[in-house]
Structure 1
Amino acid sequence: MFWRSLTVIFLSSIMAVLSWVSPAAALTQLRLSDISYTECPSEIAKGSVTSGGTSMAANCFLVTGKAENATRKTVYDADIFGRIYDANNDPVMQNRTRLGSIPEVPPGVTDFEFRISVAANQPTPLQLKQFKAAGFSAQVRK
């Protein structure tokens, strides 16, 4: 009886997760290129990094690039993954590889950008590595 109940709970959980995405939605990989960064314009550059309730000075950067959708369908809710290191090869986003997202990527090449905050004590230049993205071929239900 216990295993039967556990199986029902497990299958119900899987069904709930799958219901968040349209049944026709497939995960689509996007090729990223021309990844670079610049300092934020002054109007959006103010900020701080918080850790454990402590606030530290931070520098603001905009990461930019191009996402190529080689399919014939628009890709939605594409997550951007990558690693960012400082000049000393120390990670900028500790234990975090999801860095940003692109709401919509039509077929072809689309420019993207997202903002990151980096602790002011981490030296530049930043190193942007292992960037990739994936999204869905249909909109995710919210």
Structure 2
Amino acid sequence: MQLRSLAVIFLTCVFALLSLVSTPNAIALTQIKLSDISYEKCPPEIGEGSVGSGASSVAASCFLVNGIAENATNKYVYDADIFGRIYDANNDSVMQNRTRIGAIAEVPPGKSNFQFRITVPANQPEPLQLKQFKAAGFSAQVRK
């Protein structure tokens, strides 16, 4: 009986040790501060198009959103999702029911420039209002 108890304790310890060794590091979500947010019209070679699904489509305007991302850690941040709100000149939402509006593949430590493209129905008047921008990414690359 005593030998069996010792064997169970030994095997439990071995399994616990193996699970600690083989457990991957946790991938932490890191907040990225965004500032100096602005936009500009896309160059003609990438800006033409339409928005729609199926047979119906609407004329569209293309814009590049620019800004500065600040990574306060000493490590790269990967796959940072950008969240924010974009309104037209009439305070109508440009991207209804969407707050995730872009992404940054890699954010190095410190400050760096970022840019992403948005497509807006052409009937929404400028100037656009860019509000409540923030980003969050991962301390390691997320594998898909």
* TM interval, short-chain normalised: 0.7 to 0.9
Residue 87 of structure 2 is matched in structure 1 by: 85
TM-score normalised to structure 2 length: 0.81
SS of 1:92 mapped into structure 2 = coil
Q: What CA distance in whole angstroms lies between the structure 1 residues aligned with 2:38 and 2:83?
A: 14
Q: What CA distance in whole angstroms lies between the structure 2 residues aligned with 1:74 and 1:81?
A: 19
Residue 69 of structure 2 is matched in structure 1 by: 67
Residue 25 of structure 1 is matched in structure 2 by: 27
The equivalent position to 2:120 in structure 1, one of 118, 130, 135, is 118
TM-score normalised to structure 1 length: 0.82
Q: Kindly state the Cα deviation for residue 65 of structure 1 after the two structures are TM-superposed.
A: 0.4
Residue segments in structure 1 that go unaligned for 5+ positions in a row = 1-21
Equivalent AA in structure 2 for residue 132 of structure 1: K
Runs of 4+ in 1 over 3 A off after TM superposition: none
Equivalent AA in structure 2 for residue 94 of structure 1: Q
Residue 108 of structure 1 is matched in structure 2 by: 110
SS of 2:95 mapped into structure 1 = coil
SS of 2:125 mapped into structure 1 = coil
Query: How many pairs align?
Result: 121
Residue 132 of structure 2 is matched in structure 1 by: 130
Aligned-residue CA RMSD (Å): 1.1
Residue segments in structure 2 that go unaligned for 5+ positions in a row = 1-23
